[in-house]
């Protein structure tokens, strides 16, 4: 979660005081984190689960601490606000003899750089590819890609995840017969004030929007119930700007970022800008991946696959619009996920096909990234989370 300036903190506090206080506290904690957990793909390659690294921010070095926990295809990770617990999306086809993925809960042992299993529950949909936690650590959510559904859970004081509280099964298809033959929920994102949950559906070209009862984790449809993207775009990822007034949606199928204005009272999105991640004259295979903001909200970095690159943007805080500053190296092949380190002096990239985490230096004044960096080997990295 990105930090807030005081003005934005007060704005969110007026709507949801508890969520705002949690965000403000969490901001300072994140800057001190020095432990990196890496979710991996275990269905191919040699990975066996979630791996841990010690992070050295002065030199940009990662020191392997080994396997933190065995886990079945943990392709996405999320933390509770205090980084005491870690949750993994297990992107599998069956669990407990049902056509379902799973969500796993772990307690973080910072001293040993390890994870202690707490419990594992049905996601109620196959191919669970994303997991998220609300800003108060009271609820968790998952997106089931193959199953075309989304599920919410309640979280206990000890990190345990409940059985499903809400579950929504989607129906339909999009215009791309190969990639949009069915619903494909891909990202679950709590709103900055924890009053809504947004679910990106790559298959149906929309973002489903729900009202969230934070105390129970229960979801109910918002009115209107969704934002509709351009047909065939494939909305994959979503990230709120630190000011909470805008969000960026990465469209996988057209390698595009769309800036969306967020109405926190109504729970609605409005398109502000679309900008391509690839050059206009490029017509080959391409897939948008993900995007992150700096804590001050001045810069954004997006990853694109096939046409493998990182794209640097300047962000206008008034209207959320992006200005392309550079399109450069991601350090490897198929950048699945990216993260700013806690000091924001480095960008780390999970390059899936290169079997490596790439570390690129960042200029905090200009936003510019180094063209070359350091690579640290790991089989099929998928997600990077600092704890």
Please name which of 192, 139, 156 lies closest in space to residue 23, comparing C-alpha atoms. 192
Q: Would the pLDDT of 22 be above 70?
A: no
Q: Which of 199, 228, 257 finishes a domain? A: 228
Q: Would the pLDDT of 195 be above 60?
A: yes
Contact 39, 75 (CB under 8 A): yes
Q: Would the pLDDT of 6 be above 60?
A: no
Q: Would the pLDDT of 71 be above 50?
A: yes
Residues 210-231 have a mean pLDDT of: 98
- Torsion, Cα 238 364 341 186, to 10 degrees, reads 10
Task: Show Cβ contacts of residue 223 under 8 Å, excluding neighbours closer than 6 positions.
Answer: none
pLDDT of residue 18: 60
The answer to the question of residue 165 being in a domain is yes
The answer to the question of residue 269 being in a domain is no
Q: Would the pLDDT of 8 be above 80?
A: no
- Give the percent of the chain with pLDDT over 70: 93
Contact 77, 383 (CB under 8 A): yes
Query: What is the chain's mean pLDDT, rounded?
Result: 95
Whether 76 and 213 share a structural domain: yes
Please tell me the total number of residues recorded for the chain in this structure: 387
pLDDT of residue 3: 44
pLDDT of residue 14: 56
Q: Quick one: CA dihedral 31, 35, 40, 45, positive or negative?
A: positive
pLDDT of residue 345: 98
Q: Which of 196, 228, 260 finishes a domain? A: 228
Q: Which of 212, 228, 244 finishes a domain? A: 228
Predicted TM-score of the model (pTM)? 0.93
d(CA 252, CA 85): 30
- Give the percent of the chain with pLDDT over 90: 92
* pLDDT tens-place string over residues 352-376: 999 999 999 999 999 999 999 999 9
Whether 99 and 211 share a structural domain: yes
Residues 177-197 have a mean pLDDT of: 98
Contact 154, 216 (CB under 8 A): yes
The answer to the question of residue 246 being in a domain is no
Q: Would the pLDDT of 2 be above 50?
A: no
The answer to the question of residue 28 being in a domain is yes
Q: Would the pLDDT of 21 be above 70?
A: no
Domain of 15 in residue numbering reads as: 1-32
Whether 108 and 161 share a structural domain: yes
Is the pLDDT higher at 345 or at 5?
345
pLDDT of residue 32: 84
Task: Show Cβ contacts of residue 66 under 8 Å, excluding neighbours closer than 6 positions.
Answer: 51, 52, 113
* pLDDT tens-place string over residues 94-120: 999 999 999 999 999 999 999 999 999
């Amino acid at each position: 979660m990105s930090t807030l300036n005081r003005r934005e903190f007060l704005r969110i506090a007026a709507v949801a005081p508890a969520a705002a206080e949690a965000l403000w506290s969490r901001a300072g904690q994140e800057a001190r984190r020095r432990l990196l957990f890496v979710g991996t793909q275990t269905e191919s390659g040699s990975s066996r689960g979630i791996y841990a690294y010690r992070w050295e921010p002065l030199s940009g070095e990662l020191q392997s601490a080994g396997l933190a926990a065995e886990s079945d295809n943990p392709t996405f990770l999320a933390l509770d606000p205090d980084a005491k617990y870690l949750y993994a999306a297990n992107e599998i086809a069956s669990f407990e003899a049902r056509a379902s993925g799973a969500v796993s809960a772990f307690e973080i042992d910072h001293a040993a750089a390890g994870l202690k299993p707490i419990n594992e529950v049905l996601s109620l949909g196959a191919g669970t590819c994303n997991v998220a936690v609300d800003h108060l650590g009271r609820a968790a959510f998952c997106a089931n890609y193959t199953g075309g559904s989304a599920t919410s859970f309640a979280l206990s004081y000890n990190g345990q995840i409940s059985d499903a509280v809400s579950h929504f099964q989607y129906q339909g298809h999009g215009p791309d017969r190969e990639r949009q033959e069915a619903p494909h929920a891909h990202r679950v994102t709590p709103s900055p004030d924890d009053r809504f949950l947004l679910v990106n559906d790559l298959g149906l070209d929309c973002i489903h929007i729900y009202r969230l009862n934070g105390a129970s984790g229960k979801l109910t449809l918002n009115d209107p119930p969704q934002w509709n993207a351009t047909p065939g775009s494939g909305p994959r990822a979503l990230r709120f700007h630190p000011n909470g007034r805008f969000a960026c949606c990465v469209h996988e199928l057209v390698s595009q970022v769309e800036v969306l204005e967020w109405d926190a009272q109504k729970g609605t999105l409005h398109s502000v800008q679309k900008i391509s991640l690839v050059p206009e004259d490029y017509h080959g295979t391409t897939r948008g991946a993900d995007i992150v903001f700096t804590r001050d909200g001045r810069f954004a970095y997006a990853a694109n696959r096939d046409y493998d690159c990182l794209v640097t943007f300047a962000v206008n805080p008034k209207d959320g619009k992006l200005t392309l500053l550079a399109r450069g190296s991601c350090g490897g092949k198929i950048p699945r996920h990216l993260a700013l380190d806690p000091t924001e002096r480095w960008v780390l990239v999970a390059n899936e096909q290169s079997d490596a985490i790439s570390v690129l230096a960042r200029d905090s004044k200009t936003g510019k990234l180094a063209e070359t960096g350091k690579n640290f080997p790991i089989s099929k990295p998928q997600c990077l989370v600092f704890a």
